Amino acid sequence: MNKKLSQFLIIAFLIFNFSSFAQEKKKFDYIKNRESLIQDSFAGSKNIDVENWLFEFSCIDTLLTKGILGNNIEKKYALQLDSIYLYNENDRDHLEGKYIAECKDISGKNYKTEEELKKRVDQFVNAFKGLPLNLIGIGYVGYNINEKPKSFLQNNDNLIKAIIKNSNNESIPFVSIGIIGTEYSTISDQEGNFRLKVPTLKEENTLVTFRHLGYKEQQILLSDLIHLKKITLQANEELLEEVIVKDDLGNIKRKIIGDKGKTHTFGGIQATKNEGIEIAKRFDTKKQKIYLNSIGVYISNIYQNDFTLLVNIYEEKAETALPGKSLLKQQVIVSSNLQKGWLKINMNEYNIMINKPFYISFQWTTDDVLTPSIGISGKQGLFRKSSFNEWIDSEKFKWMIQAEVTYIKNNL
């Protein structure tokens, strides 16, 4: 198997149960970890005017987490549950398969001594004793007395949280955000919010890139980004060119190219670090000019969950035969809860005409790449971890993707 591909968790065939999670592979010392968290967090906050303290908990199930933390948590423990997400990295065995709950301390207290912080932590430990819930992170949000605003979480993860808007102060959904050539990347949600894990700042010139079809690409120094709560992107004023397909002689013909039929075999490739997995399939026009009417991907979504995918059309790079420049001028988003079958997307309004090999891709907007699962009985396929990584041969995962095109049959 390709060495690059082996870095990923590969899941094939029909998946019927997503609710069971792996237990700890190693016995983790939560008591010792709490002591370190308290010491490190308090030491780091000495020069900070803390606005809010933050606490992170791990649990084996999202519903159980909500049940424990969502039941009068504000009144009982002066905590506000901000978010829950599945831990999908591979650097901590004790968190594998767990859900992470982020909570904000709303007690209004600013713990002035390490002992005060310890008492607050002990309150949680006693309250959740016997329950499958563990404290794994302590942090704070505040202002350095002599510097810019600062946010830091003492759990060895550096997270940036912000919102992306346009010049009209409207949120921009599904922006690709990341450091090119690294695993540090994510996608903004439907409200334009994002959370990006970043490395410990070592080089002052590290750049974070923001990409979205319809907006100009923007790069911001990581050292500046950690102080921002809002990023503004400028609209790309390039307009779509009108394409008119005439049929004066009656020899225009429509044809489906790519994969056809059905399959009972589905799968997905799960990245270990981030959201934004993208799959692609190559199409050969045989040097004939074609007009792209629609595209489709064969999916399975057994629980009929709502999902959102991003669609892209790339021209082929001559030197690498891999996806290159996007042929789209604006973002194409498809949302559905189709249970099984061909998910079709009308492409007529995007005016794509091409006479060279091209690629059709689908990109997940969350880290749940099994919603939907993709038919893998096609002819070939590629994938990449995010918009900022290299394309990799997906080997046995041959994505079932098709395109309906219009061409002049006398020239084919």
Cα angle 376, 320, 214; round to 5? 75
Distance CA 17, CA 9 (A): 17
Distance CA 299, CA 301 (A): 7
Is the whole model's pTM more than 0.75, yes or no?
no
Half-sphere exposure of 7 (CA within 13 A, CB side): 12
**Both tokens of residue 147?**
């510097």
Query: Which residues face 211 on adjacent strands?
Result: 176
Q: Which domains does the chain have, with CATH numbers?
A: 17-156 (3.30.70.970), 158-238 (2.60.40.1120), 252-411 (2.60.120.820)
Amino acid at 82: D
pLDDT at 272: 47
pLDDT at 30: 77
**Between helices 30-44 and 114-127, what is the axis angle to 10°?**
140
Cα angle 304, 308, 310; round to 5? 145
Distance CA 383, CA 10 (A): 12
Closest CA to 34 of 142, 150, 121: 121
Question: Tokens 């894990």 map to which residue?
Answer: 197
Closest CA to 20 of 136, 98, 102, 134: 98
Indicate the DSSP class of residue 215: B
pLDDT at 45: 73
Query: pLDDT 10s per residue in the chain (412 long)?
Result: 444 443 333 333 222 222 222 233 346 777 888 888 888 878 777 767 777 788 888 887 766 667 777 666 777 888 888 777 777 665 567 777 788 888 888 888 878 888 998 999 998 888 888 888 888 888 877 655 554 444 444 444 478 889 999 999 999 999 999 999 888 899 999 999 999 988 765 566 889 999 999 899 999 998 889 888 999 999 987 654 555 555 544 567 889 999 999 887 877 776 545 578 999 999 999 888 899 999 999 998 877 889 999 999 999 999 999 999 999 988 999 999 998 999 999 999 998 999 999 999 999 998 777 789 898 887 789 999 888 889 999 887 889 999 999 986 654 4
* Residue 56 neighbours by CB under 8 Å, 6+ apart: 100, 101, 102, 103, 135, 136, 137, 138, 139, 153, 155
pLDDT at 155: 40
CB 25 within 8 A of CB 288: no
